Amino acid sequence: MLKKTKINDIEVEYEVIHRNVKYARLEIKTDIIRLIMPFNYNKDEEIIKNHEKWIYKKLSRIRASQKEADNKELNLLRTNKEFRAMVLLFIDELSKELKVNINKVYFKRMKTRWGSCSSKKNININIYLMHLPSYLIEYVVYHELAHLVEMGHNKKFWNIISNKYPNYKNMEDELLIYWLLVRKLIDNNA
């Protein structure tokens, strides 16, 4: 069930999900805020209040990105075969650059991320990435391979990223814009 609250000038909806977790956390993917909370923990309003500034900043960024998305288009011409070949070529080149070895590459439909990297050195790539410009595909591949050097999104990790992509924050912003376009594509085909 969605609940509503107001943060500054933005009316927001949020969903409370109880799971077998130790600590409560906030997730914002699009306009809906998700509070993942331990069972028998019902302080959702307190959590929202304590994180108002962060929520407002994230939602403002998402709203600005939604406006930017109106000026972008997805690449609907690239074939699955072309996409897979491109990703595998990037993996081959960039893994040498980072001096990392991977185990396997998987292509999946992913609902919340462009890619992931496991501790078993497996790389997962979201197949919807095929609709993005090639420089963003390369960036996502590099991002995931960098996790083989540093697993977390900490300062060391972002230093690795910024060595190759000094403008990585712009790339991350573009990925959000394209994510909003991909979500629209998925929703229209559902």
What is the helix (H) or strand (E) element at residue 20, kind and residue range?
Answer: none
Helix (H, G, I), strand (E, B) or coil at 105: strand
- The confidence score (pLDDT) of residue 31 equals 65
The superfamily (CATH) of domain 80-189 is Metalloproteases ("zincins"), catalytic domain (3.30.2010.10)
| 176 contacts 62 by C-beta, under 8 angstroms | yes
Of the listed ranges 3-12, 19-28, 55-64, 138-147, the least confidently predicted one is: 3-12
Predicted local distance difference test score (pLDDT) of residue 183: 84
Q: pTM for the whole thing?
A: 0.82
pLDDT at 190: 58
pLDDT tier for residue 62 given thresholds of 50, 70 and 90: confident
| Arithmetic mean of pLDDT, 75-80 | 94
Please give the DSSP secondary-structure letter assigned to residue 106: E
| Residue boundaries of the structural domains of the chain | 2-69, 80-189
What sign for the dihedral angle of Cα 125, 135, 183, 14?
positive
The C-alpha atoms of residue 18 and residue 55 are separated, in whole angstroms, by: 20
Picking from 127, 121, 170, 173, the residue whose alpha carbon sits closest to that of residue 146 is 121
If you average pLDDT over every residue of the chain, what do you get? 91
Give the pLDDT confidence score for residue 126 in this predicted structure: 97
User: pLDDT over 90 for what percent of the chain?
Assistant: 56
Measure Cα distances from 169 to 28, 63, 172, 173 in Å.
18, 17, 5, 6
